[in-house]
Amino acid sequence: MAKKTINVALFGSGFMGKAHSNAWLNVGKFFNTKFKPVMHTCASVVDAKDFAANWGWRNVTKDWKAVAADPEIDAVDICTPNNTHAPIALAALESGKHVACEKPLAATLDQAREMAKLAKRRTKQVTQVWFSYRGCPALGLARKFVEQGKIGQIYHVRAQYLQDWGGPSTPLLWRFKSKDAGSGAHGDLNAHIIDSCRFITGQEITEVTGSIAETFIKERAIPEEELGNIKGGKIGKKKKYGKSTVDDAVTFIGRLSDGGTASFESSRLSMGNKNANRIEINGEKGSLRWDFEDMNWLWYYNAQDDSQRAGWQKIMCTDAGSHPFVGHWWPDAHILGYEHGFVNLASVFLDRIAGKKKVEVPAADFNDAYQCQRVLEAALLSAKNRCPIKLSEVK
Ligand SMILES: NC(=O)c1ccc[n+]([C@@H]2O[C@H](COP(=O)([O-])OP(=O)(O)OC[C@H]3O[C@@H](n4cnc5c(N)ncnc54)[C@H](O)[C@@H]3O)[C@@H](O)[C@H]2O)c1
């Protein structure tokens, strides 16, 4: 029997547009989802004809508003700059579509709140936010270990997301403008590790006790055109400069709902760190450690081992029977990469649309991403006012 199909529309044709196109192209081939996605339309503000043809989008348009309202579209996927998430997602939800949206949920807390409120009212529609690292099997295993009580009460979470592409030669892309991005490294990188903390521990961050935000590169060359990759922009001969209005780095500390302490550090200026998304969790019975640059491995320390054999265990998370998602891919130890995380989460989105109660790993929804946005806001407030901020004060 032919599979049921759902028509997907993609918004944006840049870095994430590519990662998500790959996910929609492959998810139905590797996962036996009830619905098969049809790559119906790609909407971008730039000419995306070549992009759409390359990835197999059947239609292409610059008119995103028409696509958000098009009754032929069942689900939209938003891969555009942060300040455009809210208008696209709200219009799509209003017209009855399922919505998958890139992170951070929005450029501002007000936008994020409105999105989460509407999503809550639209009980028959699925929302998802691409905290893509949830799609890495090792992070799913870390969550399982915490659920199984393997590390006991959590004392510390120590998370970093460090990159180094944001030096002075990187032009004034949308990522450096607060009106487009909301914040800089903070919303871009801390958003991911706040989500990883919530995802693995199942706890909320209840207070930001201190925070520091810094913009080191105050001015950047204005590009004639954005080239659609993280650092890329074509700069004319006569360079004009504009002000960067976002942070380059934000570090903050906070408290978890079960009493543990947590630290989060993000930077685009940590030379030598390319995509160093790392988290370590220390509990009464042991510890967990993960580093995206070695994404197939989870490190586990069992504090109950006798001292003669105690030590960090390096677990390769590629066992079909034991580790999330990998059974859909290759034989054991045939390593997964960055793109698999997106395909894995696309399968969760389709499973949820099909009404499946038990999905492999829970993906973040609009409410999760709104909780994350509250923490982002609390950290910025704490840095600005140089004081602790309770999350109960940030609605
Ligand atoms: N999950 C992840 O790991 C991850 C990684 C990178 C970026 N992101 C997020 O993905 C989003 C996009 O980032 P990117 O790196 O792909 O940016 P990008 O600059 O590479 O691409 C943005 C695209 O959006 C298009 N666009 C802008 N406004 C639009 C609109 N109103 N309608 C349709 N298209 C529009 C642009 O033409 C461009 O094609 C951001 O929210 C970013 O934070 C997530």
For a mutational test of ligand 1's pocket, the pick from 16, 47, 64, 226, i.e. the residue with the most ligand atoms closer than 8 A to its C-beta, is 16
Phi-psi region at 378: left, alpha or beta (left = phi > 0; alpha = psi -120 to 50): alpha
Query: What is the bridge-based pairing of β-strands 219-221 and 286-291?
Result: unpaired
Domains of the chain: which residue ranges? Answer: 138-303+366-385
CA of 80 to the centre of ligand 1 (A): 3
* DSSP code per residue over 183-224: SSHIIIIIHHHHHHHHHHH---EEEEEEEEEE----EEEPPS
Does the CB atom of residue 17 touch ligand 1 within 6 A? yes
CA of 122 to the centre of ligand 1 (A): 25
pLDDT band at 361 (very low <50, low <70, confident <90, very high): very high
CA of 82 to the centre of ligand 1 (A): 7
Q: Is the model's pLDDT at 196 over the cut of 80?
A: yes
Distance CA(279)–CA(299), nearest Å, equals 10
Does the CB atom of residue 79 touch ligand 1 within 6 A? yes
pLDDT band at 1 (very low <50, low <70, confident <90, very high): low
Across the range 194-203, mean pLDDT stands at: 98
Reading the block at residue 351, the tokens are 């499973």
Reading the block at residue 77, the tokens are 């996927």
- Pick 224 or 94 by higher pLDDT: 94
- Residue with the nearest Cα to atom 19 of ligand 1? 228
Distance CA(72)–CA(59), nearest Å, equals 12
Residue 25: in which H helix or E strand, if any? helix 15-30
Over residues 300-342, the pLDDT tens digits come to: 999 999 999 999 999 999 999 899 999 999 999 999 999 999 9
Across the range 122-145, mean pLDDT stands at: 98
Place of tokens 């600005």: 384
pLDDT band at 360 (very low <50, low <70, confident <90, very high): confident
The rounded mean pLDDT for the chain is 96
**Domain boundaries 138-303+366-385, corresponding CATH code:** 3.30.360.10
Residue 28 CA to its chain's centroid (Å)? 22
- Burial (CB count <10 Å: 0-12, 13-18, 19+), residue 323: buried
**pLDDT score at 3:** 66
CA of 321 to the centre of ligand 1 (A): 35
Does the CB atom of residue 44 touch ligand 1 within 6 A? yes
Of the candidates 341, 364, 346, 365, the one whose C-alpha atom is nearest the C-alpha of residue 39 is 346
Do you know the residue count of the chain? 395
CA of 150 to the centre of ligand 1 (A): 38
**pLDDT score at 232:** 74
Question: Looking at the whole model, is its pTM more than 0.85?
Answer: yes
Instruction: Determine contact, residues 315/302, Cβ cutoff 8 Å.
Output: no
First-to-last alpha carbon distance for the chain, in angstroms, is 48
What Cα–Cα distance (Å) separates residue 299 from each residue in 54, 139, 311?
Answer: 39, 11, 10
Over residues 28-47, the pLDDT tens digits come to: 999 999 999 999 999 999 99
Distance CA(337)–CA(326), nearest Å, equals 11
